[in-house]
A and B are shown apart, each in its own frame.
Chain A
Amino acid sequence: MIKVILKYILYMIFFCYMLVVFLPKINLYYLALNKLESYKISLISQKVNDNYLSLDLEDLSINYDNINVSKVKRVSISTYLYNTSINIKDIKADDMLKNFIPESIQEVEIFHTVLDPLKIKLKASFKKGRAFGEVDLVNNTIVLNFDVTNTFMHQYKSITRQFKKNGKYYTYEYKY
Chain B
Amino acid sequence: MPLTALAYETEAVPTNGPQIAHRQPVASLTGVTKRYGNALALDRLNLSLRPGEIVALLGPNGAGKSTAIKLLLGLIAPTSGSTRVFGSDPREAATRTRVGAMLQVSRITEMLKVREHLDLFRSYYPNPLPIADILRIAQLQGIEERLFGQLSGGQKQRVLFALALCGNPDLIFLDEPTVGMDIEARRGLWSEIRLLAATGKTVLLTTHYLEEADALADRIIVINKGRVICEGTPAEIKRNSGGRRIRCHTSLSAEVLQSLPSVTNVEHSGEATIVTAIHAENVVREMLRRDETLSGLEIASPALEDAFLALTKN
A and B part of one assembly: no
A-contacting residues of B (Cβ < 8 Å)?
none
